[in-house]
Amino acid sequence: MITQTTRRRLVTGGAVLTATALALSGCGRSEDTPKAAPQATTSIGSDPATGNLTVWAMGTEGENLPKLTKAFEQANPGVKVTVTPIPWDAAHNKFTTAITAQSVPDAAMVGTTWMGEFADLDALDPTPAGIDSASFFPGALDTTKVGDVQYGVPWYVETRVVYYRKDLAAKAGITSPPTDWDGLKAMAKAMQDKAGAKYGINLQPGGQGSWQTVMPFAWSAGASVTTEDDKEFTFDTPQMQEGLKYYQSFFTEKLAGTDLPPNQTEAQFVSGQVPMFISGPWMAGSIAKLGGDKIKQNIGVFELPKNQTSTSFVGGSNFVVFKASKNKDSAWKLVKWLSDAKTQAEWFKLSTDLPAVQSAWQDPSIASDPLLPVFGKQLETAKAPPSIVSWEQVATAFDAEIEKMAKAGQTPEQTAKAIQAKAASIGTGS
């Protein structure tokens, strides 16, 4: 997503970082040729996987996955898994071309915000019996659902928490991280007044992907993106306005800046210029690399403070099986194996991607980390936008209005109305 999300690779909407694949098994499926329609898998067989499996995966996941699937091949001697790595920026076009030509792989990594688009094209095989869906983080599992149907499984996850400089927090008189909105604002102000920071916190002032930071505050206030049936948008509500008002207040009170150079969050954090920001787990390594041991020992994280709830954004990627696959049973066996807690822990060691299966977080490689358990706790309540066909367009409109609010003084009420109007004109696709 990653979902997609913006992280160490290109991810849209989710999001990731998040992140977009289309999967159109319905191509060529007409009333004149009903036999060409692939049938959905209902259960996973108990015998070993066999045959050839083609898998597509993006970015560093595509490069690392073959190291993992060797163990699957050893456990299933009759199967051969061929992984094709795809650059993130080329993924969408490659998928759409393959779908149109009906030459999709058996299984693939898919961004969390892509699911509605793919499912709308009747390209994804619904998740069959035999997958332990209850093992996943609830918010991550929701990203696989379109309407009442689950497609695929969450493969890896990410969420956002608040990073802070522990040494500068101590200098500012902060003895424990805040847990509510008032506390976060007070901490940001103390970082300026007592610890010498230019800005107390780095918040994205609109622009691409800013919805991923803004929506958690709206969710915290009780807002939602759509009605329960995903047929209408619900951006213009008092709850949404409350979240927007709180977010804007950091800029109007000069606790966050609109003038910070982009892509310099790590440097600003290390220098102490901006000692707090909201981001995902990948940032810890980047900061430690830049700042060395002195900064590494002073990296702290805490869950997003709450209004009604502490709710962050969940991104990452899912793993799906295409309905047009000629070896769906073995493809689902691979997906089931990837969903095993032990496999998930091994994947973390290979890739640093966080497990979507909750029990995998008990592995010492994760549980003993000084920062990661906070992300695990945040994932228990994290949310993603609904899996609707039009989300990418809506997110772009959202980002543009947030920029007007942060930089041009557009009011939260005007912002909510504008987002609602643009989203309604785009439609949910339901």
- What are the residue ranges in the chain where pLDDT is below 50? 1-36
What pLDDT sits at residue 153?
98
- Are 214 and 240 in contact by the 8 Å Cβ rule? The answer is no
**Quick one: 90 exposed, middle or buried, by C-beta within 10 A (0-12, 13-18, 19+)?**
exposed
- Residue-by-residue DSSP string for 75-115: HSTTEEEEEEEE-HHHHHHHHHHHHHTT---SEEEEEGGGH
The pLDDT value recorded for residue 4 is 37
* Rg of the chain in Å (alpha carbons): 22
Q: Are 322 and 107 in contact (CB under 8 A)?
A: yes
Set out the domains of the chain in order of their start, with CATH numbers.
40-159+314-379 (3.40.190.10), 161-302 (3.40.190.10)
**Per-residue pLDDT at 43:** 84
79 DSSP β-pair partners? 51
Contact between residue 143 and residue 318 where contact means Cβ atoms under 8 Å apart: yes
Burial class (CB in 10 A: 0-12, 13-18, 19+), 210: buried
Whether 211 contacts 395, CB under 8 Å? yes
- Strand (E) or helix (H) holding 50: none
The whole-chain average pLDDT of the chain stands at 90
For 51-63, how does the pLDDT look when each residue is reduced to its tens digit (9 = 90+)? 999 999 999 999 9
CA angle 258, 392, 277 (to 5 degrees): 35
